[in-house]
Amino acid sequence: MSLLLQTPRARVGRLVRRVTGAHSPLMGATVMVTGASSGIGEATSYAVARRGAHVLLVARRADELERVRAAIVADGGRATAYTVDLTDGDAIDALVAEVLERHSAVDYLVNNAGRSIRRSLDLSYDRFHDFERMMAVNFFGPVRLTMGLLPAMRAQRFGHVVNVVTWGNQVKAPKFAAYIAAKSALDVFGRIMGREAFFDNVTCTNMRVALVRTPMIGPTDAYAGRRAESPEHCAERLVRALEDRPVTVNGLIGSTAEVLNLVAPRLSDFLAAELSRRMPDSAAARGEPRVRDSA
């Protein structure tokens, strides 16, 4: 989050911590991070643990989750692993029940787990399941988890949720209809949740990230060689969002595209359509084997 996009309160709070040496607000807090076994979630878990939080690691892959937990503990941090498939509603409910029994409440929740699909509508007419699975992973799962933890947050009169969404919510990028629609739904849910829980001191940040170099972008040929943020850098920005609790974290390109969509929608459509034409569907999206360079 650039300095210009920070709220005055956030800038002052960070300055005070730097000058006085005050602890991070995360010190001693309970922070749940989903998708914690790799990418942004893994990097965020390390960063949160370094600030003194007890990290609740949530992901599907037990072995990878244990690797992350062990690394945090070896570094002197506190972490507990929960192996959960966030597309399984019953598993989410069981996770919530266990976590609330053991910890009473979660202070901070990072809804990071997600999945992306880059496929044009032209290749999706007989693939409605793409839209269903995007909603399951990117919307229904995090919403069910948030709703399960929200009453305890409101009862203790403190809580903060960070939804890792996408700058695509602002750009409306072609070939990402299923993915962006699901992330946009989560974005809107978080905004309304923050308003309804405002007087209970429970807030939400929608963090609209751009391209991050994680395994999720691997199958998409169009990303090859393109500049991308590292998971570690993204995690540091995410931790600042936990500490400062802004309403949104936007980037310059996404915000510029959002303004262009409002003031010149047809020009924006033309530019997006032309860019889409120049960046065709990947081999993975077409269901073809990827052609790799020989060693």
Ramachandran sector of residue 112 (left: φ over 0; alpha: ψ -120 to 50; beta: rest) = alpha
Cβ contacts of 106 within 8 Å, gap of 6 or more:
30, 31, 32, 56, 99, 149, 152, 153, 159
Catalytic residue flag (residue 223)? no
- In the chain, the largest separation of any two C-alpha atoms, in whole Å, equals 60
Q: 190 and 164 in contact (C-beta within 8 Å)?
A: no
Structure tokens belonging to residue 250: 């936007």
Cβ contacts of 177 within 8 Å, gap of 6 or more:
121, 124, 131
Q: Where are the beta strands (DSSP E) in 126-271?
A: 159-166, 202-209, 248-249
Q: What share of the chain is helix, strand, coil (3-state, %, to 5)?
A: 55, 15, 30
In this structure, what is the dihedral angle of CA atoms 261, 267, 272, 277, given to the nearest 10 degrees? 170
Alpha-carbon distance of 110 to 77, in angstroms, equals 18
Residues in the chain: 295
Q: 118 and 42 in contact (C-beta within 8 Å)?
A: no
Catalytic residue, chosen from 46, 82, 108, 179, is: 179
Mind telling me the catalytic residues? 179
